[in-house]
Amino acid sequence: MTGIELDRLRRSYRAAFLRCMSGADERALHAGYEIGRSAVTGGLSLLDLAQTHHQVLLEVLQTTPPDDLERIARAASDFLVEVLATFDMTQRSLRRGTGDAGSGGTALPGWSGSQPEET
């Protein structure tokens, strides 16, 4: 990703993130989804999105009153889930298309890719 593309992503992400922090309604969350969709279609990295999210969140947390931290953290989590939803759907679609259940020979040793059973 070029520096210009990364700057554009950060500006868009920051604006949508701040709208979401002021009130996580469906429109604000949908903006996050659209950022993720644009990232997938534009060939951007999941790592670029994660790094951008954390940079913007850190900026917000630096000016957040302590009694508002939990609300901000929950809203930030909801926003990030929306941003990453397109990546998740794409990955699931690719797995279904190739018949891969997630192992594909690239998993860590001892890792099946499934969630552990609760006891």
Helices (H) and strands (E) in the chain, counts: 4, 0
Check if the beta carbon of residue 22 is closer than 8 Å to that of residue 75. no
- The reported pLDDT for the residue numbered 104 is 46
User: What would the pLDDT profile of 54-70 be if each residue is shown by its tens digit?
Assistant: 999 999 999 999 999 99
User: What would the pLDDT profile of 5-61 be if each residue is shown by its tens digit?
Assistant: 888 889 999 999 999 988 767 888 899 999 999 888 888 888 999 999 999 999 999
User: What would the pLDDT profile of 90-115 be if each residue is shown by its tens digit?
Assistant: 888 888 877 655 444 444 445 444 44
Check if the beta carbon of residue 33 is closer than 8 Å to that of residue 83. yes
